[in-house]
Amino acid sequence: MPVLSAFEVVGLWEQGQNRHPVDRALLLLGAFQPNESYEQLADWTVGQRDAAILKLRMATFGVLFNAYIDCPTCKERLEFSFDGRTFQLSNDFEDLAIEIDGWRFRLPTTRDLAQIANERDLDIGMQRLLDLCCLQDESQTKLEWSAAMVQLIEARMEEVDPRANIGLDLACEACGHTWQSAFDICGFFWEEIEVRAKRLLHEVHVLASAYGWSEREVLTLSDQRRNFYLEMVS
């Protein structure tokens, strides 16, 4: 199981800080599967991608996730934790395609998401996504997908691969409101990488100023040794 080193965390953050979230997801997946090109990784289904990134995150930062969210009813900030292993689902899926009313659809990939990334209208974006995923015969006529059809397709896709749509069951102690919120592992992990990278670069500055060490020398120290030297300097 790959684990991101301090040097790799800083490198990933540098590569992805000005990129679109879809591209950042591919960077994270590339760190998990370095032997495949981005062209190959772009064709992994969203569920396969997110499951791999979840594994990389837990291997790097641990299985505990500390998060927060504002209650949609009273706006109270809710802080909570959960174990990421709860969402580790089996990779054994017999068929990664669905059929509804004679129409066949494959599951969305990161390549598909990239093609609709700039679409601001969610309904239009979903229509375009279904067009990309539709495996229709040439003899069939393309239809405009109804809201009911879209909802049915989404539900079936989630059944086929639930890894692509992780939901958190939440409850606000302040007002009693309960709801489910989608969990974006790519965005969550990226925020952690950004925080970690900036802290590491600050540590490089402190130790380089004190000892004249290079960035690589500081980052290749174990966390324990780096923290010891930081305590010495302070």
Q: Specify whether 117 is located in the same domain as 86.
A: no
Domain boundary among 128, 160, 192: 160
Q: Specify whether 83 is located in the same domain as 103.
A: no
Domain boundary among 110, 134, 160: 160
**Cα–Cα distance between 73 and 109 in angstroms, integer?**
34
Structure tokens at 95: 């068929």
Q: Specify whether 60 is located in the same domain as 147.
A: no
**Cα–Cα distance between 108 and 210 in angstroms, integer?**
50
Q: Which residues of 76-89 are buried (b: 16+ CB within 10 A; e: fewer)?
A: eebeeeeebeebee
Q: Is position 75 within any domain?
A: yes
Q: Is position 1 within any domain?
A: no
| Structural domain boundaries, residue 76 | 6-90+167-233
Q: Is position 145 within any domain?
A: yes
Q: Specify whether 83 is located in the same domain as 10.
A: yes
Q: Specify whether 109 is located in the same domain as 215.
A: no
Residue type, 68: Y
Domain boundary among 160, 187, 205: 160
| Contact yes or no for 147/43 (Cβ under 8 A) | no
Structure tokens at 218: 């500081």
Q: Specify whether 105 is located in the same domain as 220.
A: no
Confidence at residue 144, expressed as pLDDT on a 0 to 100 scale:
76
Contacts of 138 (CB under 8 A, 6+ apart): none
| Contact yes or no for 182/166 (Cβ under 8 A) | yes
Q: How many CB atoms lie within 10 A of CB 53?
A: 20
Specify the number of domains making up the chain: 2
Per-residue pLDDT of the chain (234 residues; tens, 9 = 90+): 799 999 999 999 999 999 999 999 999 999 999 999 999 999 999 999 999 999 999 999 999 999 999 999 999 999 999 999 998 876 555 567 888 888 889 999 999 999 999 999 988 899 899 989 998 765 555 567 788 888 999 999 988 888 888 899 999 999 999 999 999 999 999 999 999 999 999 999 999 999 999 999 999 999 999 999 999 998
